Structure 1
Amino acid sequence: SIDNMIMMFPSALIIALLGGLESILSAMVADNMKGSRHDSNRELVGQGIANMAAPLFGGIPATGAIARTATNIKNGAVSPISGVVHGVTVLLVLLVFAPLAVHVPLASMAPVLMVVAWNMSERKEVANMMRLKNTDSFVLAATFLLTVLFDLIIGVSAGLVLAFVFFIRKMSESTRIKTPHAAVKSVKNDSSVSTYSIEGPLFFGSIDSLETSLLERLQEKPKTLILLMNNVHYMDTSAEAVLGNVMNRIKRHNGRLMIVGLQSQPRELIRKTGLFHKIGKQHFFEHQDEITG
């Protein structure tokens, strides 16, 4: 029913994301072991088709498995045929040898998995990363400990969240607003001109520093505010709203906002939101020396 579909959708989405993530991780491990390069699109499309078909026969979601992938490669696998052979072997065990397999003690399987894990652990790379003592090494250590103490889903999920938080922080710190060395010397009929250069991505993680810096400049009530945006290759709607706020503030005291070197993505965004026309086409310039008045 529709109600059941709505109820199960969040869980299905989480399973799909984690399944895709584990498969890509498996493929990356295989790449490192073989020196090859996998096709992520083909891997995920194939997995998606299999997981849509499996429930029709009472199956459960399947993913690429790091341990079995590494074992295949260690034993000389060189093509997808190894995966087919593995699947057929498991099927035969289930259909034919299940009464015998049930007597295999789990304790005897643990050392096999431990040896596989040790062989695929890339110890030297892990040691080198831990010596860096930066955010990457912290994410690695946290993911490892959570995976060991709890399970893979919790470990990988926490690792993704931590990596995302550190990435946003790093990107926000890369955004800078400064006075350029070669500012516009004169603008006709303007006695007060402020020129500032913006560098880095403008998104929700950096808008606080952007807004604070620009509004501080506006307290001086310049007649013309020139923003050099040659090095801004990405802008989201949060940053667009800040830019609109700056434009409104400067217009209150009959000033004007000029933008130089606006890149394609920010230009397309402010065209869609209408800010481009509010600022005025005549106030956009490709180069700084085009501003004459």
Structure 2
Amino acid sequence: MTSQTSSAPPARLAARLRAQFGGARVEILSGIVVALALIPEAIGFSVIAGVDPKVGLYASVVIACTIAFTGGRPAMISAATAATAVVMVDLVRDHGVQYLFAATILMGLIQIAAGFLKLGRLMRFVSQSVMTGFVNALAILIFLAQMPELTGVSPATYGLIALGLAIIYGFPYITRAVPAPLVAIAVLTGLTAWLHLDVRTVSHLGALPSALPSFALPQVPFTLETLRILLPYAATLAAVGLLESLLTAQIVDDMTDTGSDKNRECLGQGAANIVSALFGGMGGCAMIGQSVINVSSGARRRLSTFVAGAFLLLLLVALQDLLAVVPVAALTAVMIMVSINTFSWRSLARLRTNPLPSSVVMLATVAVVVATRDLAIGVLVGVLLSGVFFAGKVARLSRIASTLSPDGRTRTYTVTGQVFFASAATFSDAIDLLEPVERLVIDVGGAHFWDISAVAALDRVVLKARERGRSVEVRGLNQASATLVERFGTHHKAGAATLPHH
């Protein structure tokens, strides 16, 4: 008994150490895979924004390392992205890269303000249909971004991509100790070097930086004119960056069955963008593709995000010769896997079973995002459509019934349900003001007035009835509705009877 007791603490300690270091190994390997996947994206986004490749690469390093400490969603990857790059094009072309750095700092300040204002709560207004459309659209965009590497290339490139996909999907059946994408990149790099294959490598994507990023303030005049130039771009960058980051955080939440702090993510994104600009980087946000790679590889902690940024820096500065020979086909295979895994295939089967408005919202979100290549516009369209359909559904829940008194002198209208801007016209149209009765009773004891449109409809009915010589009694207003009518209505001030519900 004594020996068992004395051996228990070391056994528990060993178990904790195995869990800790085993977990760290997965996080580190996942981060390495992500670092490699970041390279073509960062360079490509730099080209989109019209800046030197090092601006996107430095941004990816700095943002990933910073957000690992400041972000609200562990294991999510943030770096330079296409969503922000497209916003920068005109600013860089018209005013230069220093204005881009200044706009990125202002972008970060706006995002920090959004965090303090707790705007992360706005995510609750994004419906599941919009989320699904967002995910599917991103999957399509990720695949379309690989098309330059799939068209007009040598047969060897197709062979490498096919082999890479076979390894990615087949290696997990052998072992999950090492992320399959990392194995695919290593195998394809070795095979390319051994066979001297004539295929595109990372060195063909653009000049890689050979020095560490250095601290510097943007060289722009600190004037109101500068602020006037920067503010529209910074506000758009902040909004797009937060929208994509919060949506990606929600997706990672769902994939890992864990929660995240959306308001802290706003603060973290702002801090990361400010630091990025101070070290010569462009603005960025969360990346769903790389986040999916990270989580799919088993990462769940902040360590993987930090390793992604740190290892990318190591590749750029110390292992540049090794990085240069990595075939682009290997990275293309990884991104095709991301596209396949990101797309919600179940959503296609559910098109027949889901309510028609939900399917319309999902498809509209996908169509607008893919057509415009702008995630913010697509999600905004989806949210607006969701609101329209929801308002129409709630409006149909209101009912108006009427009865005539035995003597034919009084018409009573009984209103139930929700009266607001979408149902206000239905409410006023249902009351017949031409009927030759002496008195109207509007019983709203089973209804609720939500906004000034509802109050205006009630005013219109009561005042027009009085103009025609009829007395009107409004009865049964609940306390909230009565307060709204009292504050914004006019008919009760002109002598019509409005009785609260008791």
Unaligned runs of 5+ in 2: 1-222
What corresponds to 2:444 in structure 1? 228
Q: Which residue of 1 aligns with 2:5?
A: none
Cα distance change of structure 1 residues 275 and 65 upon mapping to structure 2, 3 Å threshold: farther
Instruction: Find the counterpart in structure 1 of residue 299 from structure 2.
Output: 77
Report the equivalent of 1:202. 420
Cα deviation per residue 1:12-62 (whole Å; 9 max; x = unaligned)?
Answer: 433333322212221222122111223322222332343455444444332
Extract unaligned runs of 5+ from structure 1. 288-293
Residue deviations 1:62-118 (CA, integer Å, cap 9, x gap): 222211221111122122332222232334344445676466554442221110122
Distance 1:275 1:106, change over 3 A: farther
Max radius of gyration: which structure? 2
Q: Which residue of 2 aligns with 1:167?
A: 390
SS in 2 for 1:162: helix
Q: Which residue of 2 aligns with 1:23?
A: 245
Please say if residues 455 and 489 of structure 2, whose CA atoms lie closer than 8 Å, have aligned partners that are also in contact.
Answer: no
| Cα displacement (A) at 1:245 | 1.9
Alignment partner for residue 177 of structure 1, among 380, 399, 406? 399
SS at the partner of 2:331? helix
Looking at structure 2, the residues matched to 52 and 22 of structure 1 have their Cα atoms a distance apart, in angstroms, of: 18
TM-score (norm 1): 0.76
Task: Specify the alignment match of 1:251 in structure 2.
Answer: 466
Asked whether the 8 Å contact 1:257–1:279 carries over to 2, the reply is no
State the 1:167 CA deviation. 3.1
Q: Distance in 1 between matches of 2:301 and 2:496?
A: 57
Q: Is the 8 A contact 2:459 2:491 kept in 1?
A: no
**Paired residues of 1:225 and 1:258 also in contact (CA < 8 A):** yes
Task: Note if contact 1:267-1:276 (Cα within 8 Å) is conserved in structure 2.
Answer: no
The aligned residue for residue 135 of structure 1 is 357
For residues 215-247 of structure 1, give each alpha carbon's deviation from its aligned partner in whole angstroms, at most 9, with x where no partner exists: xx2222552322314342x52222222222223
> Identity, % of aligned pairs?
27
Q: Which runs of 4+ in 1 moved over 6 A?
A: 183-186, 279-282
1:45 is the counterpart of 2:267 = yes
Q: 1:57 to 1:172 in 2, by over 3 A?
A: farther
Structure 1 residues 133 and 179: alpha-carbon distance in aligned structure 2, compared to 1, 3 A threshold: closer
CA distance in 2: counterparts of 1:24 and 1:150, whole angstroms: 20
Give the equivalent residue in structure 1 for 2:283.
Answer: 61
Deviates more, 1:242-251 or 1:88-97: 88-97
Partner of 2:478: 262
Q: Cα distance 1:60–1:251, how it changes in 2: closer, same or farther (>3 A)?
A: farther
Q: Distance in 1 between matches of 2:281 and 2:414?
A: 60
Q: Partners in 2 of 1:150 and 1:105 — Cα distance?
A: 30
Instruction: Give the letter for the 1:74 counterpart.
Output: S
CA distance in 2, matches of 1:280, 1:98: 84
Closer, same or farther in 2 for the Cα pair 1:121/1:280, shift >3 Å?
Answer: farther
User: Are the aligned partners of 2:478 and 2:501 in contact in 1 as well (CA < 8 Å)?
Assistant: yes
Q: How many Å separate the matches in 2 of 1:18 and 1:119?
A: 24
The TM-score, its normalising length taken from structure 2, stands at 0.47
Relative contact order, higher structure (CA 8 A, sep 6+): 2
Tell me the C-alpha RMSD between the 2 structures. Answer: 3.5
Measure, in 1, the Cα distance between the counterparts of 2:362 and 2:318: 42
**Which secondary structure does the structure 2 equivalent of 1:199 belong to?**
strand
2:66 corresponds to which residue? Answer: none
